[in-house]
Structure formats: structure tokens, C-alpha cells
Amino acid sequence: MQGQQTIERFNGEKSRVISSVYTARKELSLTFNGMGDAETMDRLLNELDKYDIKATFFLPGIRVAEEPDIAKSIIERGHEVENNTLNHLDLTKLGYEQIYKEIQLANEVIEKETGVTPKYIRTKSGDYSDDIRLVAAQLGMEAVVNYNINPKDRDMKNAKEIGDYVARYMSRGGVISLNTDINPEVVPAIGFIGEAAEELGYKLITLSELVKNGGVRKPLEEIPGYDAAKLNPDYKGTPYELVYKANTRKKEIALTFDDWATDKTVTRILDILAEHDVKATFFLRAQGVEQNPNLARAMIEEGHDVANHSYAHQVVTTLTPEELQEDVVKAHQVITEAIQQQPLMLYRPPTGVVDEKTAEIIAATGYPRIAMYDVTTLDWDVKNSADDIINGVMKQTQNGSVILLHILDGIHTAEALPTVLERLKEKGYTFVKMKDLIQ
């Protein structure tokens, strides 16, 4: 062990931080902090086996020293063991040397008792500081791990509440954080989490596997086209085009979706489109994209186009020229960083409201083509049933139509979509992306 030698502050590059992983795959990681008693841990491992979940356990070194058989059992059953500090402390309140010893001694204990060398460190709270990142790098560890899905099982009373929270925020590349030694309801919560993942078609895997399967997101400035939208106060007289539909004799139509939703809703729509071999154009509210960028990237990887539907979804005619341009540009940048490429340079105004002045203001930023539509069923209103949506689409669609639908939680669009696609195909229509329809 380290003994009394002085620990010098590391002056190299800080360790990376993992709160989520860049991936469009239907995978995420379930992680645990602390180490419960033998009975609790055995029940927990049995639940994980039952739902074919492989998890990552951040274990305090002191608990591994006390009950090494629990740590060994975790590994034997196909899970991953990582460093939760020696004494399960919040390292952000400690000095550099204390941080070093807490992490280094825990590494030593875990390696001695299990034969595994931890590569990730997480503090008790998940919070981290520059000193923690420096120590992790100094000790040759791969990352400091945080999380992006935390149901706060200290406060939640029952298993269903914990499970429902995780299900609501379940996302591709997500890192879920639970505790093994605080609330016994965590054990039965695994069933709810496992069932939610199964319903979505998502797999819960170890953090190491998630990282291995994922990529590294480029910074915005390294992505070609990130600056294709810019602030431009000299907007008066800027030419623009409002595109409602295509003038064509061909039985071609474009399916478009507006707004944003949870993984559950969006994945269901993506799966339906894949099943029917239809490519669509998604106009995304960037405020939502910012919270879940992997979902936007999934649209690209499944062959769809992604475009700008504002950042904050405010009616453009209510904004000042400066506010409107800032919103358009911010949305462009958020979407570009999320999908890691320049989005389709079409802009759709929230609620479809636009006038000559706001059209010029938008066009001046680099979006001269404003995407409108000629088929709408007000599907965003939950009062409109699946049948209402189907009937509205069938009644209005003609050659060259641009169909507007929405990705929003709680509405009936996903329910209507398979029938809409089947009936339009039966009428001889073929689906193309909006950019191809209007070229």
C-alpha cells in the first residue's frame, strides 16, 4: 500500500467523464453504488439474471475487504466491478492527497480480493471535481463515471415508482444509477426496469461494453456545416421560398414529423417506419434534442433526414428579429452536434405560422427554404383519435403532398401510422424524403 509518501499533484491531462455514451444502438447501462448485505445482493443478482441484465457495480473498497465473496459472486455472474472509493465518500470535499488514497487503496483492495483492476471511479454522490479527474488519470484509470438517469432511490418509496422513473427516461447510451444499500425496493424495481427495456427493444449491458460499442462525439466546431446558419441583421429583402408541396404528376409524397418525445414514442415510430421501409424527414425541437442527442442520431443512422424546427418552439411572429435568429442558429448548432453532421437545410416554423418579415429573418440566417405542408390532421391534439388521423391523411393526400405528423408523447400518431402507410401504398403512393420531393 501507499504508506506515508507525499502525493504530488498530477499535471497531465484530466481523465474523461462519462455521464452517457455516444451511440444510436438500443443499449444502455444499469449501474449500482455501494454494497448491500449478502442476502440483498444475492436477491439483486437473481433479479438481474431473471431479466438477462448485465450491470456494473461500483463497490467501496472497505466493503470488498469485509465481504470479498460478494464481490467475487458479482463477477462470476457476468457483471462488472468498479471503484466506489475506499470508504464510499464524497471526494469533492477532500484534498488532493486524500482523494488519491481513497481511490488508490480501493483499487488495491478490489484487485487483491477479486483479481480485477478497476478502470472507472465514481464518488458516493456521482459528483466530481478537477482533482478527482486528475487523480483518476494519475492512477491510469479510464474515466470518472457520473450518470444521466437517477431516480433518487433514497427518496422514492416503492419499486414501481423507481421503475417508472427509469422507464420514462430510458435512452440509448444512458447510464442509470441505483444504490444497493439504501432502499430495499431497488431489488423488486429491477423487474419494472427489465420489462420497460424489453418493451422498447433496448438491452441493458455493462458500462465497459456500452463504451466499447459507442463512439466519441466530435466537438461542434469540428463538424462541417456547423456554421451554415449564422446571425445576420441585414435581413430585409432576403429571398425565401415557402414550400407547401411539390408540383408533380408522380405519385410521390413526403412524410414529415415535427417536435420531440421520449425514446419510447420515437423508437416506436422509427420501428414502424423501418418495418414499412419508409424514410421520413424529422423537424426537431432542439431543446429536446439537447437532452437526448443519441435519439436524434438514431434517426440519421436509420436513413431519415433531420431538420430544424426551432430551439424553444416559440411562434416566430412573436419574437424580435434578434430573438428569432438566435433561436434558429442555436437549434442548428444543437442538432448538428447531436447528429454529428450538418442537418438538412430546411426550417419549419413552430405551429406553421410565418409571415413575410419572419420568413426573411429566417432566410437570412442560411435557411432560405421554409418547409410547410399541405396535409395536416392536428394529430398533436390528443382528442384526435387514430381513426381521425388516418381519415384526415387519406382525404387530403395527393401527388406531391407533404404530410405533417408529430412525435409527441401521449398522442395517437404512432397508433395510426401503420394504417396510414399501408393505405397510402395501396393507393399507389411512394414515399420519398422531403428534400428529394421538392428538388
Pair (319, 384) in one structural domain:
yes
Same domain, 195 and 328: no
Give the Cα separation of 287 and 439 in Å (integer).
29
In this structure, the answer to whether residues 183 and 328 fall within a common structural domain is: no
Q: Measured between alpha carbons, how far is 420 from 334 in angstroms, rounded to an integer?
A: 31
Q: To which residue does cell 445576420 refer?
A: 232
Burial 375-399 (b: 16+ CB within 10 A, else e): bbbebbeeebebebbbbbbbeebee
Q: Which of 297, 330, 339 is nearest to 311 (CA)?
A: 330
Closest CA to 36 of 191, 179, 190, 207: 179
pLDDT at 16: 96
SS3 content of the chain, % helix, strand, coil (to 5): 45, 15, 40
Domain shared by 74 and 188, yes or no: yes
The amino acid occupying position 318 is: T
Q: Are residues 110 and 64 in contact, defined by beta-carbon separation less than 8 angstroms? A: yes
Same-domain status, 320 and 280: yes
Cβ contact 33:59 at 8 Å: no
pTM passes above 0.85: yes
Alpha carbons 64 and 72: distance in angstroms, whole number: 9
| Of 82, 63, 66, residue with least CA distance to 139 | 82
CB 1 within 8 A of CB 90: no
Amino acid identity, position 34:
G
- CA distance linking residue 427 with residue 435, whole number of Å: 22
State the CATH number of the domain containing residue 260: 3.20.20.370
As beta bridge partners, residue 241 has 369
What integer pLDDT is reported at residue 1 of this predicted model? 45
pLDDT of residue 4: 59
10 in a structural domain: no
From first to last of the 439 residues of the chain, give the pLDDT tens digit: 444 568 899 999 999 999 999 999 999 999 999 999 999 999 999 999 999 999 999 999 999 999 999 999 999 999 999 999 999 888 998 999 999 999 999 999 999 999 999 999 999 999 999 999 999 999 999 999 999 999 988 887 799 999 999 999 999 999 999 999 999 999 999 999 999 999 999 999 999 999 999 999 999 999 999 999 999 999 999 999 999 999 999 999 999 999 999 999 999 999 999 999 999 999 999 999 999 999 999 999 999 999 999 999 999 999 999 999 999 999 999 999 999 999 999 999 999 999 999 999 999 999 999 999 999 999 999 999 999 999 999 999 999 999 999 999 999 999 999 999 999 999 999 999 999 999 8
Q: Establish if 427 belongs to a structural domain.
A: yes
| Domain's final residue, options 194, 213, 232 | 213
Same domain, 167 and 275: no
- Residue 333 CA to residue 335 CA, distance in Å, equals 5
Of 187, 213, 239, the last residue of a domain is 213
In the DSSP assignment, the letter for residue 385 is -
Domain count, the chain: 2
Q: Domain range holding 171? A: 16-213
Q: Are 413 and 259 in contact (CB under 8 A)?
A: no
Which runs of E-coded beta strand occur in 146-290? 175-179, 203-205, 241-243, 252-259, 281-284
